[in-house]
Chains A and B, each alone.
Chain A
Amino acid sequence: MEIMKESVSGTLQSNDCLVRVLPGTEGVDLNLSSSVMKQFGDQIEKVIMETLIEMKVENCKIIVEDRGALDCTIKARVETAVNRSNE
């Protein structure tokens, strides 16, 4: 799936995350910040990358600000942002 325009989903509330995706040309450029970066940074990155692969997104810039979201929430917010970028 191609990222056609900038889009956002989620919030900065506790247990949520704010995801912003933008068009890109050279693979996935992930910018991740999290309140639990030390403990769960690798896992969060894995969920984001797996979701993008599932959605066949090969090129994009993605900025994720995490506030302690569970994997299912991160996945949902990435999915929503990507789908919105195609509307």
Chain B
Amino acid sequence: MSRRSLLFMPGNNPGMLINADILGADTVVFDLEDAVALDEKDAARTLVRNALNTLTFKHSEVSVRINPIDSPYWEADLEYIVPAMPDSIVIPKASTEAVPMVEQRIEELRAKYNVEKEIDTILLIESANGIMDIQNICKSSKLFTGLILGAEDYSSDMGVERTKGNKEIEYARYVLATAARAFRVDGIDTPYTDVDDMEGLMEDTGFAKSIGLGGRLLINPRQVEYVHKVLSPTAEQIEEASNILTESEIAKKQGLGVFSYKGKMVDLPVIKRAEATIENAKKWGLIK
């Protein structure tokens, strides 16, 4: 999927929902969980369903975060949302119990309402057990295309305070990034909560990128541009990827499995990385 930005939008705020598609995020996540008061859950799921049924989303993939399975809301959330055909569902508090339950219900509802469109899931890992058990959680899923780290709940579960340097979540970030790469899904970092500190956001996102996380949850539309700056390939990287693919075609015709580009050896992993760079650059509108 290659999602760089997933922008949270409170599910019961019509003003934000109707503007969601013009904010530039790769994915907008309509939230039925933490951003919605307990006595407004019914209003939020009805509003999000009607928005999905009525509005056209041309620029962003649409996802919906439902409530967790230990709440009384998740089944009604799915009953309303699945027929409205979002692109994906975010499963909070992902566990080997929650993921199969939710995914089975999604498939049952698709059959019940004749929904031909496939609906992916994105798993929100937000506990110490979630990090320890991440491999089994991934194996328990049939529909997931992404893993998200939810650092606020994770830190709370760990009994540690969140700090500016994010040292306390470093291990969880490495684990989630590795699992995402191993299962070939998007690795999505936790939100950067200081919405006025764009320099800090870019620096922290740069670290996430350096360890293999290709996407980030966002809580403010102003963060989209800055995260895209960090997580998109540069013009130089796109040009180099394009050149490598051209040279690769020439080498293939000559029967060469490995060739040299600017003095460096190019083999299959490098070619695959170049292909991914070009594919993403096209998807994100960086090249035609």
Contact = CB atoms under 8 A, between A and B. Distances in A.
Interface of A: 9-10, 13-16, 69-73, 75-77, 79-80, 83-84
Contacts, number: 45
A76 B43 contact: yes
Contact of A80 (B14, B46, B55): B46
Contacts of B14: 15-16, 69-70, 73, 76
Given A72-B50, A72-B54, A76-B50, A83 B18 contact: no
Contacts of B42: 80, 83-84
Given A70-B54, A71-B54, A76 B15 contact: no
A75 to B, nearest CB: 6
B156 interface: no
Using C-beta atoms within 8 Å of the partner chain, give the interface range for chain B: 10 to 19
A9 B54 contact: no
B266 interface: no
Interface in B22-61: 42-43, 46-47, 49-51, 53-55
B43 A16 contact: no
Interface of B: 13-15, 18, 42-43, 46-47, 49-51, 53-55
B18 A9 contact: no
B46 A79 contact: yes
B47 A76 contact: yes
Main secondary structure of the interface of A (DSSP, over half): helix
B50 A73 contact: yes
Contact of B15 (A9, A13, A72): A13
B43 A72 contact: no
A80 B18 contact: no
Contacts of A75: 50
Contacts of A79: 46, 50
Q: Which of A10, A13, A14, A72 has the most CB of B within 10 A?
A: A72
Contacts of B51: 72-73, 76
Contacts of A76: 14, 43, 46-47, 49-51
A53 to B, nearest CB: 16
A14 B15 CA distance: 7
A10 B13 CA distance: 9
Nearest to B39: A84
Contacts of B18: 15, 70, 73
9 contacts: A14-B15, A16-B15, A70-B14, A71-B54, A73-B18, A73-B47, A75-B50, A80-B46, A83-B46
A64 B260 CA distance: 71
Contacts of B53: 72
Contacts of A14: 15
Contacts of B15: 13-16
A85 B13 CA distance: 22
A31 to B, nearest CB: 21
A9 B46 CA distance: 11
A14 B18 CA distance: 12
A21 to B, nearest CB: 14
A79 B49 CA distance: 12
A70 B50 CA distance: 10
A16 B229 CA distance: 34
Nearest to A71: B54
Contacts of B49: 76
